[in-house]
Amino acid sequence: MFGWGKSTGCSSIDTIIGQHTRLKGDIHFSGGLHIDGRVEGNIIAEPGSGAVLTVSEQGSIEGDVQVPNLVLNGAVVGDVHVSERVELASHARVTGNLYYSLIEMAMGAEVNGSMVHRKAAERLEVADSKEAPVLDEPGMTAIK
């Protein structure tokens, strides 16, 4: 839509799920996956693969999505985790939380859930994982 297919590292489509196809079960992939039909299950791309998931206006997913790159013009009901770039076209509908690093969003796209920037989320996780210093005696201060 916005012309970034070549910059994602994967501009080809390796697998197509057609408009009149309904697939039940999880999909694990690398490369390019294009969905025109309906998927009932999670979609997971191989980490570090530069994979691209494209969901057309007719396409829908009921399940969680974990991909490096996403071009969405259809519907997703579930949490969406995008490690590199997400493009929400004008008919995109996400019902769930969207975790992203870089986002392009066209007028008309909807996210019905939280939008969480991955860098901010990672900082919060690190802050939560640090233990508070334990002070044995009143008046002691912690040194970091």
Q: Report whether 55 contacts 37 (CB < 8 A).
A: no
What is the rounded distance in angstroms from the CA atom of residue 123 to the CA atom of residue 126? 5
Extract the runs of DSSP E, i.e. beta strands, from 7-141. 15-17, 22-24, 27-29, 32-35, 38-40, 43-45, 52-55, 60-62, 65-72, 75-77, 80-88, 93-95, 98-100, 102-105, 110-112, 115-117
Which 3 state secondary structure label does DSSP give 123?
A: helix
Q: Is the pLDDT of residue 16 over 60?
A: yes
pLDDT band at residue 2 using 50, 70 and 90 as cut-offs: very low
Residue type, 85: R
Averaged over 112-140, what is the pLDDT?
64
Q: How far is CA 141 from CA 57, 62, 123, 133, in A?
A: 58, 51, 25, 9
The band of 22, judged by pLDDT with boundaries at 50, 70 and 90, is: very high
In terms of Cα–Cα distance, which of 80, 24, 86, 26 is closest to 54?
A: 86
Query: pLDDT tens digits for 62-108?
Result: 999 999 999 999 999 999 999 999 999 999 999 999 999 999 999 99
Question: Looking at per-residue confidence, does 44 or 138 come out higher?
Answer: 44
Residue at 65: amino acid letter: V
pLDDT for res 15: 94
- Average of pLDDT values for 4-22? 74
Percent helix, percent strand, percent coil in the chain, to nearest 5: 10, 45, 50
pLDDT at 124: 56
